[in-house]
Each structure stands twice: as C-alpha cells, then as structure tokens.
Amino acid sequence: MTSDPAARPPLDKTRLAGLAPDVVPDVHILVVDEVPSTNALAVERAHAGAADGFVVVAEHQSQGRGRLDRTWETPRGTALTFSMVLRPSVPTRSWPWLPLLTGYAVDKALKALGYDAGVKWPNDVLIGDRKVAGILIERIETSEGPAAVVGVGLNVGMREDELPVPTATSLAVASGTEPDRNVVLVAVLSTLREAYDAWQAGGDATGLRLAESYAAACVTVGQDVRVDLPDGSALTGRATGIDPSGRLVVEGPGGTTYVAAGDVIHVRAAEQ
Ligand code: BT5
C-alpha cells in the first residue's frame, strides 16, 4: 500500500475525459481538484443545462454532504467523490428506485473487482459490516424538466488511521492493496450506466426485476432490524424483502410494515 499520501496517483483527467463510448457510454466526465461538494456543483450544472450523463469527480471535497445534513469526510486523494446528472425518462413515481439502483450498481462493480461487498438498504455499500460507500440523491426542477443528481462517495485508498469513523472501511483496508481510483471509477460508472439504461428501458416489469436483484445483493434482507423514523419512533422486526417500489418489508409484532427509503433516519441490525 502507498505509505506516503502525497505519492498517491491523481485522477487521470485526460483519460477520464476521453473515455470511449464502448467503455462507458453516454457520460462526460469533468475532473476538478477541490469543491465543497460535487453534488452541489452537479446541481448547479444541471440548472445551467448539463445533459444526462454529466459527471463531476473531485480530488477533494471540503464540505461533502451525507443524507439529512450529515457530513461525508474523505482525505484528499484517497476516495472517489463524484456526482452524475440524470434526466430519467421514466415517470417520477419510479424515481425512488434511483438510490437503490445506484447502491446496487456500486456493489456489483465492487464484486466484479473482487471485493466481498454487499448493499445495506437503502443505499449504503458495505464490506463486512463497515461502510465503504454512501449515496446521496437529490431531485431538482430545472428549466429543462426534473433531474436527479446521483452522488457517490467511495472509500478507496484510506489507511485504517485515515478513516473518518470507526464504522467505515476502504478498499485498501479491506484488501491490503490500494487500487487505482481511475480503474475503480470507470468500473463503477459503466455498471451504473448499464443498470440505469436497463431500468429506463424496462417498463413496468423493471421494479419487480430490480427488487429481486436488489434483494439478492442486500445484506439487510433476512436480518432483524431496528428502523429509526423521523418522528422519533422506532420499528423493530425481521426484514423479509424489498417490494416492487423499493420499500423494505419489515415483519414485526404489529404486522407487516413497508418502509420507504425517504422515511428512515437509520436502519441498524437489531441488538440480539
Ligand atoms: C451517505 O450519507 O452515506 C451519503 C454520502 C454521499 C457522499 C457523496 S460524495 C460525492 C457527493 N457529493 C456530496 O457532497 N455527497 C455525495 P449518510 O447515510 O447520511 O451517512 C453519513 C454518515 O456516514 C456520517 O454521519 C458518518 O457517520 C459516516 N461517514 C462520513 N464519512 C464517511 C466515509 N468516508 N465513509 C464511511 N462513513 C462515513
């Protein structure tokens, strides 16, 4: 593993800007050195007319955002922090699938690269029981219609002592080797684009198919969980599946509850 952070190879602007369409179709990648948040920049660009597939990736974020005003922290050069503008043609009622679709694609790309990853509903990607990637989706109205900004933070090269929280891990910590961020980015973007195109093309059956594939990759299904809800209450029970709308199905003492991703503060494995 690289011991000197300054020696970490930078993102390859030329290579990423010039990716051939057969490597990753329909993306245009902008590499920036430092921004407060790639999501904020992508939102700005979407308002200014950026097309579906515009991606901004930063060497460093100074104010990376998590969900619900939480923060996302990664030391310079150790992570992939990027956001993609999407302008889906599917009805907006299907858009709640976007965070799950993204988590599914990141998980699939990591598995293909040899990591033992899994998705935690709704949109965290884990290795073991530690978080390697987080996803933040923002939906906005632009003069060209509704758009979504899909933000992904993926811990790549951090050493154990560089991880921001004890619940985090990185690809380097998980495998003992620091992979090339350019290779990982291309793998994630191509898997994401493929999943997105299949979702857009799939019509009404897509939710069902996606629910099955997602459930198979999802470590939450089959676990006893505690779901913290915005009103301060908590739901406990066994997570038994994902419904065709992407909701988590929880069988509890009071019966079956369908939990939408937007309605949760935290999902945790229930204490035994
Ligand atoms: C997320 O929020 O997991 C969404 C993270 C999205 C980050 C990307 S980076 C590119 C784009 N631009 C942005 O500004 N954001 C997106 P949430 O589920 O709320 O998790 C946040 C929590 O994860 C924090 O409160 C910490 O406990 C923990 N955390 C912070 N940084 C982390 C990291 N690098 N790895 C793992 N966990 C982290």
Higher pLDDT residue, 261 or 183? 183
Taking a C-beta distance cutoff of 8 angstroms, is the pair 37, 86 a contact? no
Taking a C-beta distance cutoff of 8 angstroms, is the pair 100, 261 a contact? yes
Q: In which residue ranges of the chain is CATH 2.30.30.100 found? A: 220-269
pLDDT value at residue 5 = 55
- Ligand 1 and 168: CB distance under 6 A: yes
- Cα–Cα distance measured from residue 136 to residue 102, given in angstroms and rounded to the nearest whole number: 10
- Ligand 1 and 156: CB distance under 6 A: no
Q: What torsion do the CA atoms of 25, 26, 30, 31 make, to the nearest 10 degrees?
A: -20
Task: Using the predicted structure, report yes or no on whether residue 6 has a pLDDT greater than 60.
Answer: no
Higher pLDDT residue, 167 or 20? 167
Task: Using the predicted structure, report yes or no on whether residue 206 has a pLDDT greater than 80.
Answer: no
Task: Using the predicted structure, report yes or no on whether residue 186 has a pLDDT greater than 80.
Answer: yes
- Ligand 1 and 122: CB distance under 6 A: no
- Ligand 1 and 37: CB distance under 6 A: yes
Q: Which residues contact 61 (CB under 8 A, 6 or more apart)?
A: 34, 35, 36, 37, 38, 72, 74, 81
Class of domain 220-269: mainly beta
Q: In which residue ranges of the chain is CATH 3.30.930.10 found? A: 5-216
Class of domain 5-216: alpha beta
- In the reported structure, the alpha carbon of residue 106 is separated from the centroid of ligand 1 by a whole-number distance in angstroms of 15
- Ligand 1 and 74: CB distance under 6 A: yes
Number of the ligand 1 atom closest to the C-alpha atom of 74: 34
- Mean pLDDT (whole number) for 10-24: 86
Q: Structure pTM?
A: 0.94
